[in-house]
Structure 1
Amino acid sequence: MRFDPWNPSFVAHPYDVYADLRVNDPVSFFEPTGQWLVARHADVNALLRDRRLGRSYLHTATHEAFGREPEPEFQEPFWRVIRAGMLDVEPPVHTRLRRLVSKAFTPRMVESLRPRIRKIAAELAEGLVERGGGDLISEVAEPLPVTVIAEMLGVPERDRHLLRPWSADICGMYELNPSLEVQHTAVRAAQEFGDYLRDLARTRRDEPGDDLISALAQVVDGGDRLSEDELVGTCVLLLNAGHEATVNVTGNGWWSLFRNPDELERLRADRSLLPTAVEELLRWDTPLQMFERWVLEDIEVGGVRIPRGVEVALLFGSANRDPEAFADPDRLDVGRADNPHISFGAGIHFCLGAPLARVELIESFGALLDANLTLAEEPAWKPGFVIRGLESLRVTV
Structure 2
Amino acid sequence: MEMVFDPWSPRFVADPYPAYAELREEGRVHWFAPTRQYLVPHHADVSALLRDRRLGRTYLHRFTHKEFGRTPPPPEHEPFTTLNGQGLLDLEGPDHTRIRRLVAKAFTPRTVERLEPVVRRLAAELVDGLVADGGGDLLTRVAEPLPVAVIAEMLGVPASDRPLLRPWSAAICGMFELNPDEETARRAVAASVEFSAYLRELIARRRKEPGDDLVSALIAAHDEGDRLTEQEMVSTCVLLLNAGHEATVGTTVNGWWTLFRHPEQLAALRSGAVPLSTAVEELLRYDTPLQMFERWVLDDIEIGGVTVERGSEVALLFGSANRDPARFARPDRLDLARTENPHVGFGAGIHYCLGAPLARLELTASFGELLRRAPGMRPAAEPEWRPGYVIRGLEGLPVTL
Secondary structure at 1:314 match in 2: strand
Which of 222, 225, 228 is matched with 2:224 structurally? 222
Matched residues in 2 for 1:36 and 1:90: separation?
A: 21
Residues of 2 paired with 1:386 and 1:209: CA distance?
Answer: 36
Q: Residue by residue, what CA displacement relative to the aligned partner does 1:41-81 show, whole Å, maximum 9, x if unpaired? A: 00000000000000000001111111011110111110111
Determine helix, strand or coil for the equivalent of 1:335: coil
Q: Which residue of 2 aligns with 1:322?
A: 324
- Whole-angstrom CA distance in 2 between matches of 1:142 and 1:179: 25
| 1:162 pairs with one of 161, 164, 167 | 164
| TM-score, normalised relative to structure 1 | 0.99
Per the TM alignment, residue 25 of structure 1 is displaced from its structure 2 partner at its CA by: 3.1
Confirm or deny that 1:378 pairs with 2:382: yes
1:351 is displaced (CA, Å) by 0.3
Give how far 1:272 is off: 5.7
8 Å Cα contact 2:28-2:303 kept in structure 1: no
1:21 corresponds in structure 2 to: 23
What is the root-mean-square deviation of aligned Cα atoms in Å? 0.8
8 Å Cα contact 1:271-1:366 kept in structure 2:
no
In 1, are the aligned partners of 2:8 and 2:387 still within 8 Å (CA)?
Answer: yes
d(CA) in 1 for partners of 2:15, 2:166: 26
Choose 62-71 or 34-43, whichever is displaced more: 62-71
The aligned residue for residue 206 of structure 1 is: 208
Equivalent residue for 2:73? 71
* Residue identity opposite 1:117 in structure 2: V
- 1:2-55 CA-to-partner distances (Å, cap 9, x unmatched) read 100000000000000000100113310000000000000000000000000000
> Which of 268, 281, 284 does residue 282 from structure 1 map onto?
284
Answer whether contact 1:205 1:218 (CA < 8 A) is retained: no
Amino acid across the alignment from 2:85: R
Q: Aligned partners of 1:193, 1:25: CA distance in 2, in Å?
A: 43
Mapped contact 2:221–2:227 kept (Cα < 8 A)? yes
Segments of 5+ residues of structure 1 without an aligned counterpart are none
- Measured in 1, the distance between the counterparts of 2:192 and 2:248 equals 20
Cα offset, 1:116, TM superposition: 1.1
Q: In 2, Cα distance between the equivalents of 1:112 and 1:285? A: 30
**Amino acid corresponding to residue 53 of structure 1 in structure 2:** L
What corresponds to 2:192 in structure 1? 190
Could you tell me which amino acid in structure 2 is paired with residue 192 of structure 1? E
Q: Deviations over 1:338-382 (max 9, x none)?
A: 000000000000000000000000001000112121111110000
Rounded to whole Å, the distance in 2 between the matches of 1:46 and 1:26 is 13
Residue 84 (structure 1) shift: 1.7
Give the corresponding residue for 1:250.
252
Q: Which runs of 4+ in 1 moved over 6 A?
A: none
SS in 1 for 2:30: strand
Match of 2:363 among 361, 367, 379: 361
Q: Does 1:388 align with 2:392?
A: yes
Contact 2:244–2:359 (8 Å) recurs in 1: yes
Match runs of 1:226-305 below 5 Å: 226-270=228-272, 273-305=275-307
Q: Give 1:215's aligned amino acid.
A: A
Match of 1:378, SS state, is coil
Q: Please, what TM-score do these two structures have when normalized by structure 2? A: 0.98
The code of the aligned residue for 1:323 comes to P
Structure 1 residue 306, shift from structure 2 partner: 0.4
The answer (yes or no) to whether the contact 2:177–2:391 under 8 Å persists in 1 is yes
Shift in Å at residue 303 of structure 1? Answer: 1.4
Task: State the AA in 2 paired with 1:260.
Answer: H
8 Å contact kept, 2:148–2:162: yes
Contact 1:145 1:246 in 2 (8 A): yes
Q: Structure 1, residues 130-161: CA drift from partner, whole Å, max 9, x if none?
A: 10100000000000000000010000111100
Q: How many residues align?
A: 397
Q: Is the 8 A contact 1:43 1:302 kept in 2?
A: no
SS at match of 2:89: coil
**One-letter amino acid matched to 2:203:** A
Task: Report the CA distance between 1:112 and its aligned residue.
Answer: 1.5
- Partner SS, residue 63 of structure 1: coil
Q: How does 1:8-157 map to 2 (within 5 A)?
A: 8-157=10-159
The one-letter amino acid paired with 2:233 is L
Amino acid at match of 2:389: F
**Whole-angstrom CA distance in 2 between matches of 1:121 and 1:71:** 40
> How much identity, in percent, do the aligned residues show?
66
CA distance in 2, matches of 1:283, 1:207: 43
Task: Report the alpha carbon displacement of residue 111 of structure 1 after superposing the two structures with TM.
Answer: 1.4
For 1:13 and 1:261, the matched residues in 2 are separated by 19
- Bigger mean CA deviation after superposition, 111-120 or 148-157: 111-120
Name the SS of the counterpart of 1:309 in structure 2. coil
Aligned equivalents of 1:189 and 1:229: distance in 2?
16
CA–CA distance in structure 2, aligned partners of residues 303 and 111 of structure 1: 46
Deviations 1:273-295 (A, max 9, x none): 11011100100001000000000
Q: Is the 8 A contact 2:269 2:276 kept in 1?
A: yes
